[in-house]
Structure 1
């Protein structure tokens, strides 16, 4: 017999509007009223179970693909049928196996220099001593990094993709959380405009692939496009060009807007915690990274840019913790709610990076990248990128603290960003400033 917890009784359209216009608030109120699990009615998923209990989340993430697999509908609607988001079961496992090598070890380390170059290039355009939004700047940094490390783009293709991909990603992010219309109005509709942009994207990728194959120097390239052209499945077959295009777009989706948004939240959080900002600045100027790594974890805990991940139940009468679920049931994991669980994170509203100093988070409790077999494949890449950008910021610029109220949450479709764009006021550090810091840190003669 199916057993589900109670939940909000408002119509599904009202629940959807609340989720988009007041991200995070609805789930918080539902938890206060119904506890750590409740049932919602969603235009995308229908009746869905929302969970935030650590034990039930762990059980769901550890379940085999025959029990709980890919959430439907998913981002595959906009990223393509060859995307990791669209694939399930063995097909997902085979594609993921091909994509793992670029994000580990030597390959990953090779991208650090590119990350720093693009960060310095963008920071050189920053205004001094006046307030500005950092989110657009962070977006430019992450798109340029991905174009070079993932797409291997340069020249005309680089410029074309740099213009196209932000527009494609912004529209796709909105469409991913909206129902597909039954009537296609062509270029006069959002879906029609998206399809035209996707056709333009596919044509550019075909040119990049043709250029790479014509040059014949794939072994000496580090970009992920080159690696995917050389990758082979267990039976020796290569990826189709369409699947490569889908996976490159998937990596863009997973590593562009979400990373940039987290960096904007980092600016917003650090400006409001001057003690942490001061300690981070001192650490960065001595090439330390312990507090920086902990701060990135705490920023993602307190300001996760993706609010939930999910699974679709595949077999009937599945027992998940206290609940018995029918086949076809959607289970949504609330990242925001588990990150605010006081039993896991004491005083959860407090921004305190020291809670992660000297310890690694439990990946079934700290879940900004999702979890289990479908955890974000680019998590290590994104973490390195955030570390490089913030380290460079702390070394090169003085970031002014503020006593202004926290920036509200703002839904951008898939990601949730600071409503004012992560406002900052900065001053470029001079050589005298850097020398003075080093002198202050140096031991004095007795």
Structure 2
């Protein structure tokens, strides 16, 4: 019989640990890390008994473990995004679907989306008030939503308007339902799951219309993800079903809309409190560069990760993870904020210092805002490019006024940890520039 070895943890009852995690998760994790070290156990609602790790070697081992040893956490967003979602799929089926979804988010495909993102950014920023405080998060939400609807769904006209109205509240509602039991019978429109399913049927009908419209067009002339998925084929030559396409489009929107927007709001919050970095970024934009901008985005994600935990469920009894031996069914949570604040990896870790990434790319088992391993966010490159274009356009067209106000605290929005005041800004529109930047430099600069 395998001997289970687990790190220590607080003896506090589950409901108290859960309440602390809901109200002050970042502070709770730091306190437990300070008391117990880089691994400890917790007992919280939903996941039950779980081990939290923040050692880079153990994180790498977890992320590289095979699907026979560990798999995605349960419950997860798959129950609301559909059975064809990457969140719901495991093993070989997850691998098959991921192979079809990788091409649209790499290489030259990304360049095709830059113009869309810049157009949406310019359109939204035109409504920004000048010389008075306002929260940038709602604007960033609209930019990322509209960009995804155009770049991923290929939506315009009536379908664009319908999806724009339907998806944000529905996805937010679904993220809360994701951890609740799914009823065995339909309880109707007055039940939480009943209302959710009604909205899901509306969504499926819109995607059906988009697919029907695409069937009458030249798909080779389109760069949106929907068109690419309609053209894609599995290894046996079969196409994706309509249901699979609908689930994956919804997954891509859920994974890339709110998290990207929230990171952009954090970027505004950080830059206003670091005027030297802000000054250098503006000079770089005016010169057509991009290296410091890329490093800044990386540092924002390190110091203000939007998602603070990611994890796996143990499938093999007696799974050895570094110093520990875990039983089948156990949950392992990776403390993203904890490893991002590790002084041995990031000296002066609490400081906001983009220069630490100017000459070195981050190690993907130490810097993990997108998760890691075979379940690393498939849209990471798209999200990075999108943040780059939005930030470049904002700095090109507006002067962001620094502030000496205290840092905005973290506020949990369920899925994401957002700045409590929404990334508050004060701006002035800039005048004509001598050296305008171009879309070609949106992802420029080497690290």
Equivalent residue number for residue 291 of structure 1? 292
CA deviation profile, 1:248-285 (whole Å, cap 9, x unmatched):
00000111000000000000000011111111111111
Of stretches 69-78 and 144-153 in structure 1, the one that deviates more from structure 2 is 69-78
CA-CA distance at 1:187 after TM superposition: 3.0
Indicate the residue corresponding to 1:444 in structure 2. Answer: none
Structure-to-structure mapping, 1:240-389, within 5 angstroms:
240-389=241-390
- Kindly indicate whether the alpha-carbon contact (under 8 Å) linking 1:397 and 1:427 is maintained by their aligned counterparts in 2: yes
Q: Secondary structure at the match of 1:110?
A: helix
Aligned to 1:167: 169
- Tell me the SS of whatever aligns to 1:19: helix
**Deviations, residues 276-318 of structure 1 (Å, cap 9, x unaligned):** 1111111111111111010000000000001111111111111
Distance 1:186 1:342, change over 3 A: farther
Q: How far is 1:104 from its partner?
A: 1.0
**Alpha-carbon distance, 1:180 to partner:** 5.2
Instruction: Report the alpha carbon displacement of residue 164 of structure 1 after superposing the two structures with TM.
Output: 0.7
Give the superposition deviation at 1:177.
4.6
What is the CA-CA distance between 1:41 and the residue it aligns to? 1.3
More displaced stretch, 13-22 vs 391-400: 13-22
Q: How many residues align?
A: 435
What's the secondary structure of 1:405's corresponding residue? coil
- Range with bigger deviation, 220-229 or 183-192: 183-192
Q: 1:251 to 1:184 in 2, by over 3 A?
A: same
How large is the Cα RMSD of the aligned pairs?
Answer: 1.6
Equivalent-residue separation in structure 1 for 2:296 and 2:322 (angstroms): 32
Show CA shifts across 1:341-380 (max 9, x none). 1110111110000111111000000000000110000000
Take 2:372 and 2:244, find their aligned partners in 1: how far apart are those partners? 24
Structure 2 length as normaliser, TM-score? 0.94
Contact 1:71 1:311 in 2 (8 A): yes
Please show how residues 14-413 of structure 1 align to structure 2 within 5 Å.
14-178=16-180, 186-213=188-215, 215-413=216-414
1:264–1:178 CA distance, 2 compared to 1 (3 A): farther
Tell me by how many angstroms 1:202 deviates.
Answer: 1.0
Closer/same/farther in 2, CA of residues 22 and 192 from structure 1, 3 Å limit: farther
Q: Is the CA contact (8 Å cut-off) linking 1:60 and 1:320 kept in structure 2?
A: yes
Paired with 1:311 and 1:282, the residues of 2 have a C-alpha distance of: 43
**Larger mean Cα displacement after TM superposition, 162-171 or 94-103:** 162-171
**Mapped partners of 1:338, 1:177: distance in 2:** 26
3-state SS of 2:189 partner: helix
| Residue deviations 1:206-235 (CA, integer Å, cap 9, x gap) | 11111111x231111100011111111111
CA distance in 2 between partners of 1:14 and 1:344 (Å): 32
Choose which of 2, 5, 8 in structure 1 pairs with 2:4: 2
**What is the rounded CA distance, in whole Å, between the counterparts of 2:412 and 2:95 in structure 1?**
31
- 1:11-44 deviation line (CA, Å, top 9, x unaligned): 2232222222223111111111111111111221
Contact 1:262 1:300 in 2 (8 A): yes
Structure 2: gaps (5+ residues): 438-447
CA separation in 2, counterparts of 1:120 and 1:52? 40
Task: Tell me how far 1:243 sits from its aligned partner.
Answer: 0.8
Alpha-carbon distance in 2 for matches of 1:173, 1:299: 24
Shift of 1:184: 6.6
Tell me if structure 2 keeps the 8 A contact 1:56–1:320: yes
SS in 1 for 2:243: helix
Partner Cα separation in structure 2 for residue 231 and residue 11 of structure 1: 50
How far, CA to CA, are the matches of 1:389 and 1:173 in structure 2? 26
Q: Is the 8 A contact 2:271 2:402 kept in 1?
A: yes
